[in-house]
Structure 1
Amino acid sequence: MSRRVLITGGASGLGAALAAAFTRAGDRVLVTDRTDPADRPGAPPPGEAFLRLDVTSDADWADAHTWVEEHWGGLDVLVNNAGVAAGGRIDVLPMDDWRWITDINLFGVVRGCRTFTPMMKRQGSGHIVNTASMAGLTHPPASGSYNAVKAAVVALSETLRYELAPYGVTTSVVCPSFFRTDLAASLPGSDPLMEQVATRLISRSPLDADQIAAKVMAGVRTGRPVILTDGPGRRAYWAKRLLRPLYDRQMYRFGQRIRQGEARAEQDGADRRHGTDRPTDEQRERERKA
Structure 2
Amino acid sequence: MSKQKAVVVTGAGSGLGRALALHYAHQGWSVAALDIDRAAAEATAQAVMAEGGDAIAEAVDVRDAQAVEAAAAAAAERFGRLDAWVNNAGIASSGTVADAPMSQWQTVLDIDLLGVVRGARAAIPWLREAGGGHITNVASFAGIANPPGMASYNVAKAGVISLSETLRAELADDNIHVVVACPSFFKTNLLATSRTVAGEAAPEKPQAMEKITEKLMARSSFTADDVAAAMYRAAERGQFLVVMRPDLPRWALKRASPELFFKMVRRATRAFIQPRPGQ
What TM-score do the two structures reach when normalised by structure 1? 0.84
Do the aligned partners of 1:80 and 1:131 also contact (CA within 8 Å) in 2?
A: yes
Unaligned runs of 5+ in 2: 196-200
How far apart, CA to CA, are the structure 2 residues paired with 1:6 and 1:87? Answer: 29
How far apart, CA to CA, are the structure 1 residues paired with 2:41 and 2:173? Answer: 40
- 1:257 paired with 2:271, answer yes
The 3-state SS of whatever aligns with 1:5 is strand
Q: Deviations over 1:43-99 (max 9, x none)?
A: 522222211111111231132122023222321010000010002122221111101
1:115/1:41 Cα in 2 relative to 1: closer, same or farther (>3 Å)? closer
Partner of 2:166: 159
Partner of 2:202: 190
Unaligned runs of 5+ in 1: 267-290
The 3-state SS of whatever aligns with 1:214 is helix
Q: Once the two structures are aligned, what percentage of the paired residues are identical?
A: 35
Of 249, 257, 263, which aligns to 1:243? Answer: 257
1:168/1:39 Cα in 2 relative to 1: closer, same or farther (>3 Å)? closer
| Structure showing greater Rg | 1
- 1:74 paired with 2:81, answer yes
- 1:203 paired with 2:246, answer no
The 3-state SS of whatever aligns with 1:49 is strand
What TM-score do the two structures reach when normalised by structure 2? 0.87
- 1:119 paired with 2:131, answer no
- 1:65 paired with 2:72, answer yes
Of 200, 222, 229, which aligns to 2:244? Answer: 229
1:6/1:40 Cα in 2 relative to 1: closer, same or farther (>3 Å)? closer
State the one-letter code of the partner of 1:26. G
- 1:98 paired with 2:105, answer yes
1:117/1:86 Cα in 2 relative to 1: closer, same or farther (>3 Å)? same
| CA RMSD between the two structures | 2.2
Number of residue pairs aligned between Structure 1 and Structure 2: 262
State the one-letter code of the partner of 2:158. A
- 1:89 paired with 2:96, answer yes
State the one-letter code of the partner of 2:151. G
Partner of 1:37: 40
State the one-letter code of the partner of 1:202. M
Moved more, 234-243 or 115-124: 115-124
